[in-house]
Amino acid sequence: MISTTPIIRDRPSDLATDISERLNTAIREHLLAAFAPDNSKSLRSFPAAEAADLLGVSGQFMRKVHGEGSVPEPRDIRGGRRYYSAQEIRNARAVLEATSRTKGRYLPGRRADEKLQVWQLMNF
C-alpha cells in the first residue's frame, strides 16, 4: 500500500526523492496486480460446430466419426455438447489425415512441390 501521509522535507531534492519512491512503489504494485507473474492465458474451447468448420467437415461427419470411435471424444462435454481444445482439434486433424483418401486434405500447408508465395498487405 502506498503511503498517503504528507511529505515534509527541508530540501527540494529530498522531496523529489520521496515522491519518486512513492510513484515507483505505486507503479510496481499496479504492474504486479495487473500482470501477475503466475497469470497465464489459455485458448478458449471450441464448440463442435466451430471445430468441424476448422477441420473442414460437417457437424454430421463429426458425429459419425465420434460414433465410429475413430476420433476420440473431447474431455470437455457440457450439457451434452462437445467442446474441443486446440490440441484435441489438432489430434482429430491428424487422425482424419491418416484415414483420408486424399492426402493433405486435413493438414493444410505448403507441399514439397509448391513454390513459396509471399503476400503483402498494407492497410491505410
The x, y and z cell numbers of residue 5, run together, are 501521509
Q: Looking at residue 70, what is its pLDDT? A: 87
The model's pTM: 0.57
Most confident of 31-35, 56-60, 70-74, 104-108: 56-60
Q: Looking at residue 50, what is its pLDDT? A: 94
- Return phi, psi of residue 111, to 5°: -90, 170
List, for residues 82-107, the tens digit of each pLDDT value: 899 999 999 999 999 888 888 778 88
Mean pLDDT computed over 72-90? 89
CA dihedral in degrees (64, 68, 69, 71; nearest 10)? -40
| Cα–Cα distance for residue pair 96/45, rounded to 1 Å | 20
CA dihedral in degrees (90, 96, 97, 98; nearest 10)? 110
